[in-house]
Structures are given as C-alpha cells and as structure tokens.
C-alpha cells in the first residue's frame, strides 16, 4: 500500500501491547483517521447532543454521554438499558458512521477478534474532573464480542482491573488516537477512568471524548 492509501485507514503499523489475556492496547491506532472521526462526531452531536444522565441511585454522572448506532446505552432512575431511541428526542439514535464501524472492526481484528460488527457506540465526554468509577460492561446480550474503546482529545488514566471488583486496577495513560480492545477472558474485566486532569488538546480543546463500541444484541 502507498503512503497515500494509508492516510485514510487506521494505522495498521501502530504498536500493540497485550495488557492482559484478551486485552490489547493499540497506541495511536486511530490517529490517521482523526479528521474523519471528528467530522462524523460533529454530525452525531447535532442530532444527539451530550447530556449528563442519572444513575438508578439518583446521581448525575460527571461524564456526559450520547450514542450512535442501532442501540444506545442509557441510564435513568429505572435502571440501565440499551434503547433504540434517544429518550431526549424520542427519535432513533444517529446511525453509526462508516468510519466508526470500520475503525472498530479493524482494531478488533488486530487484537484477534475477527468479524466484530458493533451495533452500539457510546460516546463519553469528559471535562476536567470527570471520572468513571470501576464497572463491568455487562448490559450486552452477547459476551463473545469484544469491547473496542477509542480515546480522543486530552490524555486520561485508564484503570484496568480484574474479574473481581476488589482486584487492584493497573493504570494506563491513554492519549489521543489510542484504542483498547478487551474480550474473551478479559470481556468482564472491571475498568474505569481516573478524574481527568485539566489541559488543552490541539483538536478537541479542554475535553476528552471516548467512543466505546459494543455488540449489544
Ligand atoms: C467506559 O467504560 O464506558 C469508558 C471508558 C473510557 O472512557 O475510556
Ligand atoms: Fe465500560
């Protein structure tokens, strides 16, 4: 492939770090397609803006969220669920852009999970101070598909624990363009994000945006 062709596809030459059995960190994997991703992101946010959702316990989350794809992850006083519609607008979530879908598939492929076909993409927006406490992704019907998580904007400290909540998490610094894939024996690992430090990113400003791809149904 020529350098020109490589400009618009995920960076297949990106480094690959196995962080656990079934979990791979692909540093810089999304960087070559950052412009496409940000354009697609802007279009999604016009239809379905970020909002702070409420947990079943009544707490407002510090991370603002939205979704694209056939199903969107939502939380409110009644619990967590995947919903085909945005409760705020009553309309279906914006479709998953081709660039998102292809990135997720390529990253999963690279991590050894061939044929990943996500039907849900949760978008998380972190302002300085926002955090996500340790949790498992377990609202999906099918745990044979991996999770693909893409970091954009300000760097964050990702917490990656074990299969028990009490397992001490290891800390990984995630930068703009980094992708983590976890599945198989790591599919139900507890993970989270430490409070975001203030800073400024050249493309995204004072925020971090994370795209989390799942097969929900
Ligand atoms: C998540 O677990 O949904 C978010 C992870 C991240 O923001 O990196
Ligand atoms: Fe998660």
CA geometry: angle 130, 132, 138, nearest 5 deg? 155
Query: Ligand 1 atom closest to Cα of 135?
Result: 2
pLDDT for res 17:
97
> Confidence band (pLDDT; 50, 70, 90) for 8?
low
Segment 44-62 mean pLDDT:
98
Q: Which ligand is nearest to the CA of 150?
A: 1
Residue nearest (by alpha carbon) to ligand 1 atom 2: 192
Determine how many CB atoms are found less than 10 A away from the CB of residue 43. Answer: 13
Length of the chain in terms of residues written: 217
pLDDT for res 9:
81
* Residue 126 or residue 142, greater confidence: 126
pLDDT for res 1:
42
Residue nearest (by alpha carbon) to ligand 1 atom 6: 210
* pLDDT(16) > 80: yes
Average pLDDT over all residues of the chain: 96
Structure tokens at 165: 């909540």
- Domain boundary assignment for the chain: 5-214
> Confidence band (pLDDT; 50, 70, 90) for 197?
very high
Query: Ligand 1 atom closest to Cα of 63?
Result: 7
pLDDT for res 7:
57
- Burial zone of 19 (CB within 10 Å; 0-12 exposed, 13-18 middle, 19+ buried): middle
Fold of the domain spanning 5-214: Jelly Rolls (2.60.120)
pTM: 0.96
Q: Is the CB of 160 under 6 A from ligand 1?
A: no
Segment 82-91 mean pLDDT:
98
pLDDT for res 10:
87
Q: Is the CB of 212 under 6 A from ligand 1?
A: yes
């Amino acid at each position: 492939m020529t350098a020109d062709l490589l400009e618009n596809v995920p960076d297949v030459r990106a480094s690959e770090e196995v962080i656990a059995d079934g979990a791979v960190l692909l540093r810089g994997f999304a960087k070559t397609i950052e412009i496409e991703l940000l354009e697609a992101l802007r279009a999604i946010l016009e239809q379905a803006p970020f909002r702070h959702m409420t947990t079943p316990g009544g707490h407002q989350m510090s991370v603002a969220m939205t979704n694209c794809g056939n199903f969107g992850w939502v939380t409110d006083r009644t619990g967590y669920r995947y919903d085909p519609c945005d409760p705020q607008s009553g309309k279906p979530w914006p479709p998953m852009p081709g660039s998102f879908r292809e990135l997720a598939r390529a990253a999963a492929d690279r991590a050894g999970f061939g044929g990943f076909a996500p039907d849900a993409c949760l978008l998380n927006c972190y302002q300085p101070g926002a955090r996500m406490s340790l949790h498992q992704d377990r609202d999906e019907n099918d745990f044979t598909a991996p999770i693909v998580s893409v970091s954009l904007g300000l760097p964050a400290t990702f917490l990656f624990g074990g299969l028990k909540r009490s397992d001490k998490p290891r800390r990984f610094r995630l930068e703009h363009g980094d992708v983590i894939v976890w599945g198989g024996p790591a599919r139900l690992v507890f993970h989270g994000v430490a409070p975001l430090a203030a800073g400024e990113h050249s493309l995204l400003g004072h925020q971090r945006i994370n795209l989390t791809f799942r097969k929900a149904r």
